[in-house]
Structure formats: structure tokens, C-alpha cells
Amino acid sequence: MSILNSLVPAPGLRVLVTAGASGIGAAVARAFSEAGAHVHICDIDRSAIDRLVTDMPGITASVADASVERDVDLVFEDMLGSMGGLDVLVNNAGIAGPTGPIEDLSAHQWERTVDVNLNSQFLFARRAVPLLRKSTHSPGIVAMSSVAGRLGYALRTPYASTKWGVVGLMKSLAIELGPAGVRVNAILPGTVEGERMEGVIAARASSAGISVDAMREEYLRKISLRRMVTPQDVAATALFLSSPAARNITGQAISVDGNLEYL
């Protein structure tokens, strides 16, 4: 295989993407599908699923809350019915969580952020690993963390705590699964263009008592390249990590952030 051919996943790879109907998840699902993979997604938003599947009819899908164990079981039933096995799990489900000082946060806000951002990764990995052990097609897990998984993030403590947790889970699984040939890596996106980021900026601007435009400029000043990344930037990294070119890359937390210097 030439170096150029090794930079994309082999056609026919069976890929499961959680929260795959919009944002980064949808970009990842589209990228794998366009590369010739069989892709199954799950998402809590049925209308978003319908839009993606209409646009990309080769992708199959389940409606599910990634933090609910029974829903996860149903996703695997659907996925096995449509693909028969699994080669790559992209653990992407996550929410922004609350913005504010810790003394103003409720236990419910904390618990919901932990459930979606961290517990979901455990639930999907637990079900995926036996299938990945059987795969002969460069099996792996791509865990979606965040630049907040390597930097402290004032006023976003639930989010940052879960994203650090994702990195710890990834590094532990890389050691655990390495002897079976299963690779595990994390992607740490920085400030990603899109509706979700606009909501985060608006919430932080409100908390700080400044305009949304001023807060957006504050975010950009922290990035060496002075630009946000796109969902497609993140998807390209997920493709690479699932390709033969990355066969010896495991246990790594890879930032895709334009060098975000601080939060």
C-alpha cells in the first residue's frame, strides 16, 4: 500500500458515531461514509437524524440518549442488524453544560453533564470492545474530548472535568486494549465554528457582562492562528486516526485547535 493510499480508512470499515446527526458528529459520519465506510449513527434528535439520512441515504441510524444504558443496548442491536459487526467507535456525544461559578451550579446540572459527556463514553466502550476485539480491520476507538480536557476552564467546571475524564478513560483503554490490537485515541477540538459554540459564547458573554461580539474576539485572541476550527477539520483527524497510516498511534490526546493557548 502506498503512503497516499494509507492516509484514508479502508473501504467497508464499519463505524458507529454517537451524537452523529449534527455538528462534529455529522461531519465525522459524512466523512467516513464518503470514504466508503458503512456508518451507523445515534442521536437524541430525530429530526436531525432524518435530515442527515435523507442527505446521506447510506447511513443507518437509531434515536437514542447516549447516556441511557437501555438506549445504548438498542443502538447496538440496530447497528449489528445493519452492519453485522464493528471496526471503529467514535464516541462523540457531549453537551456544553452550564456556565457560571461553581456555587451557583445545581447538582442536576453537574450530573447531567457527567452522564452525557463521560458516562456515555463508558457505556458505548463497554459494549463496543468485545466487537472490536473480533475485528481484523484496524479496530479502534476515537474519543471526542476537548481542549478543555488539557486546560482549566473557569466557569465551565462540569464540562472541563468530564473532558479531562475522557482523556483518562482513553489512556487507560489504550493500555488495556493494546495487546488485542485495538487502538484508542482522543481528539481535543478547540473553538469549533457552529451553533453550539455561538451558544457558549453568548452564555459566557452574559456571565461576564460584555457583548457577544467582544466575547467572540476574546476567544479568537487566545488562538495562535486567530481562527476557529471547523467540524470538517475534526472529521479529517478522525479519518486519519482510523487509517492504516495511524496503525502505531494509540493512547494519544490530539488537539485540533489552531493552538489554543489558554481558556
Q: Of 153, 159, 219, 262, which one is the catalytic site residue?
A: 159
Between the alpha carbon of residue 26 and those of residues 20, 30, 92, 179, 252, the distances in Å are 5, 6, 10, 31, 23
Strands 183-189 and 140-144: parallel
Could you tell me if 43 and 61 are in contact, meaning their C-beta atoms sit under 8 angstroms apart?
A: yes
Distance of CA 176 to the CA centre of its chain: 21
Q: How far is CA 64 from the centre of its chain?
A: 16
For this structure, is 159 an active site residue? Answer: yes
Q: DSSP per residue over 155-190, as a string? A: T-HHHHHHHHHHHHHHHHHHHHHGGGT-EEEEEEE-
**DSSP secondary structure code for residue 85 in this structure:** S
Q: How far is CA 45 from the centre of its chain?
A: 16
Q: 58 vs 137, 165, 202, 205, CA distance in Å?
A: 20, 33, 36, 41
CB 90 within 8 A of CB 240: no
d(CA 21, CA 46): 9
Classified as helix, coil or strand, 129 is: helix
Q: Any idea which residues carry the catalytic annotation?
A: 159
